[in-house]
Structure 1
Amino acid sequence: MEMAKRIVLLAILIRAALSPLIAFANDPSPLQDICVADFASSVKVNGYVCKALDAVTVDDFIYHGLHIPGDTNNGNRQRTTQVFVNALPGLNTLGAGFARLDFAVGGINVPHTHPRATEVFLVWEGALYMGFVTTDRRLFVTTLYKGDVFVFPRGLVHFQINVGNGPALAFAGFNSQSPGLLQIAPTLFNSTPPIDDSVLRSGFRVDQATVDQIRANFRTA
C-alpha cells in the first residue's frame, strides 16, 4: 500500500512539472464528436454554443472559395483570407484554423501576433522574407521559397514580406478555431478610444508631430 501511494504521488508531481509544457498549447479538447457553432444563440461561452444535432448539415463542415486570390489592392499590398470558426462553423471546439495569404510585389503582412495560436506557414509560390521575435528580443528570420514551411510560436510578434519579383502565395494552419490578431502599429495608433499621446511619445521616444503623422497614416488606410 505504501509503495502504491508513492507511485501515485510521483505521478502527480511529474504531471505538475510538465503541465506548463502540455495541455494548454491550444484550444480545450472537445467533449463530443461535433459541436457546430450556433451563431444565432445569444448565450456566450468560451467559444460558441453547439447547434442542435438535427440542424447540423454537411455544409457546416465545408468552406468554399479558398482558390480565389485575395484582393491585395490596399496599403499593405497583402490580403489574408481567414477560415476560422466564423467562416466554418464546424471548426467549433476542434482547435484548428486555416488561412490563405496573398502578397503583391512588395506586399507585407505587418508585424502582428496571434495570442491564442501557434502558426504553421507554408510558402506555395514566390519568395517571402519572414521571422519572429522572442520575449528577450531575439530575432529569428529567413527567406523561404516554394514548398518551405516555417513555424511561428504562439503569441510572438512575427511578419512576412514578399521579396520576390512576382506575386507570392502562402497557406497557414493554426491550433485554434479563433487565433486572434493584433497588428502592432494599428493596435497602438488607431485604437478605440485612442491611447493617450503621452504614452506613445514616451513608449516610442518620439515627438508629438511623429505621433500625429503615424495616427493619420492609419486613420486613412
Structure 2
Amino acid sequence: MTIYRVVVLLSLLVLFTLSTATTVVDFCVADLKFPKGPAGFPCKNPANVTVNDFVFSGLSVPGDTTTNVFKVAVTGAFDTTFPALNGLGLSMARLDIGVGGVVPIHSHRASELIMVIDGAILAGFISEDNTAYYKTLYKGDIMIFPQSMLHFQVNMGKKPALAFVSLDSPNPGFQITSSSLFSNDLPKKVIEKITALDASQVKKLKKMFRGTN
C-alpha cells in the first residue's frame, strides 16, 4: 500500500467519525492575511480559489529527526499550512521518529487517530483516573487518543518509524508537558513545588529546555 493510499484511508476514517452539520457554504478556504478568530480564519474570496487550494503535498517529504533532543519530526497539514481545512473539523500530520526517538507526553484540544506505516511504535494515553492505556503498534495498526488526554509515542524498533495522524480539528494545538514546564521563566522554586522534583533535576531540565529563572 502506497503512502498516498494510506493518507486517503486515514482521512476517510476520520471523516466517517465526524458528526454531520448543516453549513451555508461548500467550503471556506482560509484567508491567512487576516487574524484568526474563535471560529477560524475568514474565507478567501471564492473567485480567487483554485484546485491548488485543496491539495497539500507536504506529507510526502520525510521530516528531519536530527535537530531536536526527542529525535522526532512532525509535519502538519493544519489550517495554517493547508488553508482549505479551515472550518472543516479535521487535519493530518506526518510523524517521523528516529531510532530511540519519542514524541514526549503531550495533549491536544482534539481527538487523534494514529496509523503506523513503518516500524514499531509504543503508543499510549493516560485517562483522567490515571489509568495508562498503551501498546506497541506495527504497520497497519491504528489507535485513538481521546480529546485532551495526555499521550505519547516511542520508537521501539532498530530503524526509523513512520506514522500518520489525523485529528478532529483544523488546528488541534500541541502542548508538550516537559517543554511547557521547563522552557519558560517560571521560577525553579515554583516548579519544585508543583512537580515534587528536586532542585538539581529542575536545574538540569531548565538548562535542557533553555528556560530561565
TM-score class normalised by the smaller sequence = 0.7 to 0.9
Output the aligned Cα RMSD: 2.0
CA distance in 1, matches of 2:180, 2:126: 18
Rounded to whole Å, the distance in 2 between the matches of 1:85 and 1:57 is: 16
Report sequence identity in percent.
38
Query: Per-residue deviation at 1:93?
Result: 0.4
Q: Residue in 2 aligned with 1:111?
A: 105
TM norm structure 1: 0.82
Of 154, 163, 168, which residue of structure 2 is paired with 1:170? 163
Bigger drift between 198-207 and 153-162 goes to 198-207
Q: Does 1:148 pair with 2:141?
A: yes
Q: How does 1:93-132 map to 2 (within 5 A)?
A: 93-115=87-109, 117-132=110-125
Per-residue deviation at 1:33?
0.6
Name 1:82's counterpart in structure 2.
76
CA distance change for structure 1 residues 167 and 151 in 2, over 3 Å: closer, same or farther? same
Per the alignment, do residues 43 and 64 of structure 1 end up closer, same or farther by CA in structure 2, a change over 3 Å counting?
A: closer
Which has the greater radius of gyration?
1
Q: CA deviation at 1:42?
A: 4.5
Structure 2 residues not aligned, in runs of 5+: 1-17
1:41-100 CA-to-partner distances (Å, cap 9, x unmatched) read: 247452100111111111111111321111000211110100000111111000010010
The alignment partner of 1:59 has SS state of helix
1:127-154 Cα distance to aligned partner (Å, 9 max, x none): 0011000111110011010000000001
Give 4+ residue runs of structure 1 displaced > 4 Å after superposition: none
Which residue of structure 2 aligns with residue 8 of structure 1?
none
Distance (Å, rounded) in 1 between the aligned partners of 2:38 and 2:165: 26
* Partner SS, residue 154 of structure 2: strand
Counterpart-to-counterpart distance in 1, 2:143 and 2:203: 36
Q: In the aligned structure 1, how far is the partner of 2:119 from the partner of 2:45?
A: 44
Cα separation, 1, equivalents of 2:203 and 2:22: 45
Determine helix, strand or coil for the equivalent of 1:195. coil
User: Contact between 2:39 and 2:87, CA under 8 Å: does it hold in 1?
Assistant: no
Deviations 1:127-185 (A, max 9, x none): 00110001111100110100000000010000000001111100011110000000000
Which residue is equivalent to 2:195?
204
What does 1:1-16 correspond to in 2, within 5 Å? none
Q: 2:130 — aligned with what? A: 137
TM-score of the pair, normalised by structure 2: 0.85
Counterpart CA distance in 2 for 1:80 and 1:42 is: 24
Q: Secondary structure at the match of 2:186?
A: coil
